[in-house]
Each structure stands twice: as C-alpha cells, then as structure tokens.
Amino acid sequence: MPTTEASEAASAIDRRSTAPMYDQLRQLILDGISRDGLQPGDPLPGEHRLCEQYGISRTVVRQALAQLEHEGVVERIKGKGTFVAPPRTSESLVHTLVGLFDEVQRRGGHVRSDVLRHEVIDADAEVAAALELEPESPVVILTRLRHVDGQAWSLSTTWMPLDVGAPTLDADLRDSSLYALLADSGVVATHGVRSAEATVATREQAALLGVSAGSALLRLRSVSRDESGRPIEFFVAYHRGDRSRFEFRLGTDNSQGALVHVPAPREASA
C-alpha cells in the first residue's frame, strides 16, 4: 500500500518537473475521474477550487480545462460549471452512403425528426441539374429538423424524382429511416458524391437549430445514384458547428474521414 506521503505527492503539482503545470493538472484531473469512477454528466471541481487545491493560477487551470475540453473529456457550461463529457461518436456521413438515422441507430443512439415540409413541387434549376431532370419537373421535397439523442443537430432538405419519392408521401418519417423506406420500394443508393463546406447560420436556420445567427455550420451536399447510375436523391444538410467536426484516420495506403457528432452540454438540474 502506498504511504500517505506518497499519495499526497502523486496528487500534487511538482514545480521542479519539466512538465508544464497545466499538463500536470490535466493528468491529475484525468486520474481523479478514473479513481472516483466519475460518469458522463458528473460535476468536476470549479476553477476557484482547483486554484486553491493545487496552489496554482487561474491561467494554469483554464489551460488544463481547455485541453481536456478539446480532447472531449470535459465540457464547460457557462454559469453552471465543468462536467465529465459524454463520449463522442463518429458518424460516417461524409465518406459513405449511410444515412444519419441508420448510423446513429447502429451505435445505439436515437434520431427523431421534425418533418417541416413534405410535398410535391416543381424543381428549380439547381435541383433539376442535380437530379438530371428538366427544369420544373415534379419532385418530392422533404425538409427535416434532425435531433440526435434529444438535441437538435441538423437541418436537411432532400429532393427526389417524383416516382422515387412518391411512396414516401404517406409515410411517417419522424422516427424512421428514409433510406430504409426507399429500399422497401426497391430504390437503393449504390454510389454518389458527397461534399462538405463551412458556412454560417441564417436567422431562420439559427432559430431551428438553437444557435445564434451567424454561428458556424457545416453544410453537406450529396447526390446519390442507384445501380443504373440514375440520380435518386439530392440533399443539402446543415449541421451545427458546435456538434460536428471532421476526424481523419491516416495511413500510407488509404485514409478515412468521418464526421464526428459532439454531444450537447449537460443541462444542470433545477
């Protein structure tokens, strides 16, 4: 068993060490989370308490917490405190044809959709070009506000040729997969092109996604095709910038990119 002196030394800042104090504090916090068996959502000591406990400046504390927040270990909520963060989950939405519903369900999460619009319209020039249709051809438009595990995450609009989208018009898409519904009708996406770019939220988008106008968003654009090469779906989706990021796994022969879903900060109990 370690002595009391050894235990205290192991839980103190070593000012003679070459390791920066903020990095030492970072490790001490990690050790404390593991030692105490803390779970996602459990509170951590505040900045003032950490300053007093370790005899360090607030600058050092903030550097350590910022690093842990960047690593996804903690989340800081203004006016509420610092908490153990939920684990981050990678969504393969950029480099595969997997849909949001199917990907989140596969990792045990839940997607709920508010269906804002679902009807037949005339295709404008952009939609017609993407789906390789004549301008003003009838298409089915589907606009959904997507919630991942109860938190707003993306606003997406999908356009489908009328014969592809018609079977969806009477379907309840609040808690089901569009891709699964299309597959039941014999329509399966086999390949396509998907891109991502940074943008900012309009007032309307911000109100729906629960962010401020001008906040960072990630815009995905995708055209999916069936085995014959025919376009069956065109969508544009806006993902909250504070809930999404890219991660890349690099190798000498191949690389993989993924869009990571960052869970929302935990709300403090009343």
Provide the pLDDT for residue 147. Answer: 85
Q: Which of 70-79, 95-104, 207-216, 225-234 has the lowest mean pLDDT?
A: 95-104
pLDDT bucket at 128, cuts 50 / 70 / 90:
very high
Q: Which amino acid is at 263?
A: P
Provide the pLDDT for residue 92. Answer: 41
| Helices and strands of the chain, counted as H and E runs | 9, 12
| Exposed / middle / buried, residue 94 (Cβ in 10 Å: 0-12, 13-18, 19+) | middle
Q: What is the mean pLDDT of the chain?
A: 80
Contact 29, 47 (CB under 8 A): no
Distance between CA atoms of residues 55 and 153, nearest Å: 40
Q: What is the pLDDT of residues 174-214, one digit of tens each?
A: 888 888 888 888 988 888 887 888 899 999 999 999 988 89
pLDDT at residue 50 greater than cutoff 90:
yes
Distance between CA atoms of residues 166 and 186, nearest Å: 13
pLDDT bucket at 259, cuts 50 / 70 / 90:
low
Comparing C-alpha atoms, which of 115, 43, 105 is closest to residue 76?
43
Contact 61, 25 (CB under 8 A): yes
Distance between CA atoms of residues 138 and 131, nearest Å: 11
Tell me what the mean pLDDT of segment 97-116 comes to: 62
Q: What is the pLDDT of residues 63-96, one digit of tens each?
A: 888 888 866 788 888 788 899 987 654 444 443 4
Query: 10-16, long-range: CB within 8 Å, 24+ apart, which pairs?
Result: 12/54, 13/54, 13/55, 13/56
pLDDT at residue 116 greater than cutoff 70:
yes
**To 10 degrees, the CA torsion angle through 208, 212, 218, 221?**
40
Q: What is the pLDDT of residues 136-160, one digit of tens each?
A: 999 999 999 988 777 888 899 999 9
Distance between CA atoms of residues 82 and 265, nearest Å: 10
